[in-house]
Structure 1
């Protein structure tokens, strides 16, 4: 698929077919973790791929009620795959305490932004593009529900960025989402040229 087509195919959905995603396809999608930005090659990304129906149900029981109460249809419980996106902050500190990363005074850098969260968002975008390239759709929900990290089995030293839903969209991808396109801000409002 051409990259422009992949970008057009990437969209957040909340409607999935129940069809399972083949393991080889899942492996190609999550393999992008090796290519995702990682400050100083800290390699702090952690993914958990959940296909087990019982565990997916437990996650949905925690995270989906807020969406259902807002009048949305079930989507977390319907997605055949959940990809937990986690990040281990200590991996960044450990890497930036290595001699080649110390500042001129021999100290770890002062972090202007928490690069681990920035990198985590970059990984999510890459996962979404890899999924689109495989003909899959994605959604995402943050760690808003109490107990999600424990239910999915994240180690204590890994922060939960959120969970990506993954599967084959139940929507017709050829139908444009005109109401969203109409709300798109003009490029000039989003990009400044100097």
Structure 2
């Protein structure tokens, strides 16, 4: 598949077929972590791949009721794979305390933006594109439900950006896709040019 096709195939879904995703395919997808941007090559990204049905069910118990109230199906429960998208902020600080990254006064830079969170968004997009390249669909939910961090039993020095749902989407819903296409803002409302 060429890049334009992969990009066109990338979209969020809220329903999945029950088909499992084989481990080799998952490994190809998560391997994009090596290509994800990280400030100063700090490599602070962390992923937790969850295929265990029991754990996925407990996570769905936290999220599906909230989404169900908004008219969505139990899409978290349907996804055969969940990937917790995490960051280790200290990896960034460790990298920026090295001599080649210190400020002129010998201290760590002041962070104008928490790049560990910014970079996690870049990794999210790479995961989505890698999944689309494999013929898979993705969704995403944030870490807003209480108890998720503890349920995942993440290391104390990891931050949780959210969870990617991953699996095979049902047949294309052309009506829904066309609706989104019609709702897209014109390019000129989103991009400003200064020549």
Q: Note whether the superposition's TM-score is higher than 0.5.
A: yes
* Kept after mapping to 2: 8 A contact 1:37/1:122: yes
| Aligned position for 1:113 | 113
2:55 aligned with 1:35:
no
Separation in 2, partners of 1:164, 1:187: 28
| Aligned position for 1:133 | 133
| Aligned position for 1:182 | 182
- Report deviation, 1:173: 6.2
The two structures have a TM-score, normalised by structure 1, of: 0.97
Residues 37 and 51 from structure 1, CA distance in 2 versus in 1: closer, same or farther, beyond 3 angstroms?
A: same
The two structures have a TM-score, normalised by structure 2, of: 0.97
Residues 100 and 173 from structure 1, CA distance in 2 versus in 1: closer, same or farther, beyond 3 angstroms?
A: farther
Aligned positions, number:
194
| Aligned position for 2:12 | 12
> Does the residue aligned with 1:77 lie in a helix, a strand or coil?
helix
> Does the residue aligned with 1:84 lie in a helix, a strand or coil?
strand
Separation in 2, partners of 1:174, 1:6: 17
Separation in 2, partners of 1:116, 1:183: 31
* Kept after mapping to 2: 8 A contact 1:13/1:138: yes
- Report deviation, 1:176: 6.3
What do residues 78-128 of structure 1 show as CA deviations (whole Å, max 9, x unaligned)?
A: 000000000011110111011110010001001010000000000000000
* Kept after mapping to 2: 8 A contact 1:63/1:144: no
